[in-house]
Amino acid sequence: MRSISIEMKMLIGVVLFTLFIVGLERYQLSENIVEQFIESEKSKNNLLINTISPIIALNISLGLGDANQDYLGQIAKQNSDLEFIELIDNKGSILYRYFKGNTNDKSKKHPYSKNIIDPVTAEYFGKVTLYFDNHDYQMILQKNKEATIKIFVVTFFLLMIFIYGIKREFKYLKELSRNVLKYDPKQNNFTLTHSHRTDEVGVIHNAIISMVEKIHSYASLLDEVNQSLESKVQERTKELEEVNIKLNELSITDPLTKLSNRRHFDQSFKDIWNLAYRKQLEVVLIMCDIDYFKQVNDTYGHVCGDMILKEVGTILKKSLKRSTDFIARYGGEEFVIVLYDTNRDDAKELCLSIKQNLKSTNDLEFQGTKIKPVTMSFGISSKIPNENYYYEDLIKTADMALYKAKEDGRDCIVIL
């Protein structure tokens, strides 16, 4: 037997909801009918009491008390559904009373009263009170109440059935959702089996189970592939790390002299300056330049010039004694040395040591030709960093000192 589809269940839900709305409309309609009945009853009572009041007032003003009794008696005969009429004078005495049935039971009655006033003198003569039989009204109320209760009971019962059906369907879907959410392909912990349902939920259920089976087989295959890939990735990662280290070294190293390049100097000098600023220590900057290097290139060629640059770079590097000392090729034949926590006197001693070590170039030859000994000019500047003096200022000062050393004849040391 084919199960009812979710679509049909939703349609049934709509029908039940419609019944509920109809019940509400029925209740509202009944309330409107009752209200109209009450208004009709009010109009009926008002019409009668407004009709008889002027006549009663006229009879009293003319002294025709018996005429009022006859008149009200005729009114009672002509209105069979009239249950009660009472006329009281201005002293509270009963001039006329008519009642039908139990007049003491007034809990469900709607009495209407009106004062009797002389239309000419506005003198108060008394009060007339009446009400009609409200049996029809009570009947309408009872029938309306019974019909409304029946409709609501039936609608409520149908809604409970609908809610139970929906909750049952969602319970099945929740169980399916729980298993899907906790499913782990590595553990293969999907516990549901194929469903015998033929509706949409059953189709989805079986489709998910088939998909889970495929996922499990693919997951096993992927585990094997991932293991292979993981080992390859580790190998490639190690190779990349080695390449990155080499690239990083190349990016901060001058390829000819193997010293730090200008880029590395700019970054490192700024860090050294900031450290000295925090600790209020002196920083010395030495800018040095190979004398007459252009003549070397012009005389022996650039290959010879490169050889001399490499030799000078080696001498400069060997001349530094501390691990905190920093040296870089600044550009062309110009080099720069940064000395942290050092004074100008020690810097000058270093420059003298370099000049002494440069004498080893007296034996340099290129293609069988002896090369003129290499000399260098040195410009020194030093400063304890402060907020009004920047590391760029120290570079400018050292450069000015080097320029002065060139003007003073080269192969000398100038301190500014």
Q: Where are the domains of the chain?
A: 6-138, 186-252, 262-415
Which strands make up the sheet holding 326-331, listed edge to edge? 326-331, 334-340, 283-290, 376-383, 413-415
CB 2 within 8 A of CB 198: yes
Angle, in degrees to the nearest 10, between helices 6-61 and 200-252: 110
What are the helix (H) ranges across 92-187?
135-182
Evaluate whether 6-138 and 262-415 have a shared fold: no
| Cα–Cα distance for residue pair 158/162, rounded to 1 Å | 6
Spatial distance between the Cα atoms of 380 and 396, rounded to a whole number of angstroms? 11
Taking only the tens of pLDDT, the chain with its 416 residues reads 456 666 567 667 766 777 777 777 766 777 777 677 777 777 777 788 888 888 887 787 777 777 888 888 888 788 877 888 888 888 888 888 888 865 455 545 667 788 888 777 788 888 888 877 767 667 777 777 777 777 777 777 777 787 777 777 667 667 777 777 777 766 676 676 777 777 766 777 777 777 777 776 777 777 777 787 887 888 887 877 777 777 776 688 999 999 999 999 999 999 999 999 999 999 999 999 999 999 999 998 999 999 999 999 999 999 998 989 999 999 899 999 999 999 999 999 999 999 999 998 888 888 888 888 899 999 999 999 999 998 999 999 999 999 999 999 999 999 98
Q: Find, among 154, 152, 160, 156, the residue nearest to 30 by Cα.
A: 152
Record the tokens describing residue 188, joined without a space. 């293969």
The CA-atom distances, in angstroms, between 216 and each of 185, 188, 222 are 5, 7, 10
Look at the alpha carbons of 251, 254, 258, 262 in this order and tell me if their dihedral is positive or negative. negative
Strand partners, 340: 283
Give the pLDDT of residue 344: 93
Q: How many helices (DSSP H) and strands (DSSP E) are in the chain? A: 9, 11
Alpha-carbon gap, residue 11 to 222, rounded angstroms: 45
The 10 Å Cβ neighbour count of residue 403 is 16
The CATH number of domain 6-138 is 3.40.50.2300? no
Within 10 A of 381 (CB to CB), how many other CB atoms are there?
24
Of 34, 136, 51, 37, the closest CA to residue 85 belongs to 51
Task: Give the pLDDT score at 289.
Answer: 95
Token pair recorded at residue 67: 């005429």
Structure tokens at 300: 């022996």
- Residue 122 falls in which region: left (phi positive, over 0), alpha (psi -120 to 50) or beta: left
CATH 3.40.50.920 fits 262-415, yes or no: no
| pTM of structure | 0.46
Tokens for 104, please give them.
Answer: 């003491």
Distance CA 256, CA 334 (A): 13
Query: What is the pLDDT, as a whole number, of residue 108?
Result: 54
- Locus of tokens 């009944």: 30
Q: Closest Cα partner for 59 from 131, 119, 130? A: 119
